[in-house]
Amino acid sequence: METLRLLRDAINYIEAHLQTEVVIDDVAKAALSSKYHFQRMFHALTGFTVTEYIRNRRLTLAAEELSGCCKVIDTALKYGYDSPEVFTKAFTRLHGVSPSAARKKDVKLKSFPPLSFQIQIRGVREMNYRIAEEKGCTVIGKEVIVHSDPQDEVPRFVEQIWRDGTHDAINEAAGREAGSLLFGYHYDFGEDGGKRYLMGCELAGDREVPYGLTVLELPQQTYAVFEGYEAITEDIEIGTGILDVWRRIYAEWFPSAHFEQVEGPCIEKYNWLDEQQVDSKSEVWIPIRRKG
């Protein structure tokens, strides 16, 4: 109940400031949360980043005003766009028509209503987790910037590096056996709504890093580790079940736990459970600290 109330407070804060500058730190404060934790909780529960949500709400209201014959330049300035060109590009991307066209009759526009959060019965299925202390380490791998839909962009990126040999090259550079599963690292959640995702593994010793790979330094950290389970079949590929683990962490575990997320990469770890490489175990590692 408390989490729902705080999320509603954050949404109400956004709605009250759509015509002024909206600072994500202030939105997080309305939810009595850190910026880092709030951004990840919001994205996990809604599928949108905070920045995307604010942009879509502004462009929804802008479309309503344009249909009432308001001037494009006045509407652009009202909703925080410094130039009609930037406004037109963002408006067209969401609505599929230009702001000028939106002023005409019988033009189809998209509506993105304010979010609402409802009470649901949760906790029917148990969640297996543990608290782990990890030393700092150096990770190498290949990264991509995820702009909008991680459920689509990340699997395509993973498939690409499997096919083009990058996956094997990373394992070779790290001194690991070919075919070993790499881990996924989510980090650098930017103000523009994008975030970096790296597929890689820990670099052992003082091995050299090949050109073209990214180096990520992980600090010593406390993690909450959540278990998942994947089975490779014709219909299910590795990583699909982990989406449900992510959702339940933010929808069920954090609201009832005495921990909060802290800044640092979140990790998806995968390991084969058999020599035939059919079944695998997945884990989600989230950096945390105890509240208060």
Measured in whole angstroms, the distance separating CA 214 from the mean position of its chain's CA atoms is 20
Percent share of the chain, pLDDT over 90: 37
Within 190-290, strands assigned E span 195-202, 214-218, 221-231, 259-261, 266-272, 279-290
Residue-level pLDDT at 121: 47
Those residues whose C-beta lies under 8 Å from the C-beta of residue 104, and which sit 6 or more positions away, are none
**Spatial separation of the C-alpha atoms in residues 60 and 109, rounded to whole Å:** 8
| Overall average pLDDT of the 137-147 stretch | 90
User: What residues does each domain of the chain span?
Assistant: 2-102, 129-290
pLDDT(112) > 50? yes
Residue-level pLDDT at 232: 45
Residue-level pLDDT at 110: 85
pLDDT level of residue 157 (50, 70, 90 thresholds)? very high
Tell me which amino acid residue 262 is. Answer: V
At the fourth CATH level, the homologous superfamily of domain 129-290 is Regulatory factor, effector binding domain (3.20.80.10)
pLDDT(236) > 50? no
Q: Out of 18-32, 155-169, 226-240, 253-267, which region has the weakest mean confidence (pLDDT)?
A: 226-240
Calculate the alpha carbon distances from 65 to 13, 15, 76, 274 in Å: 21, 16, 11, 60
CATH match for 2-102 among 1.10.10.60, 3.30.460.10, 1.10.1040.10, 3.40.630.40: 1.10.10.60
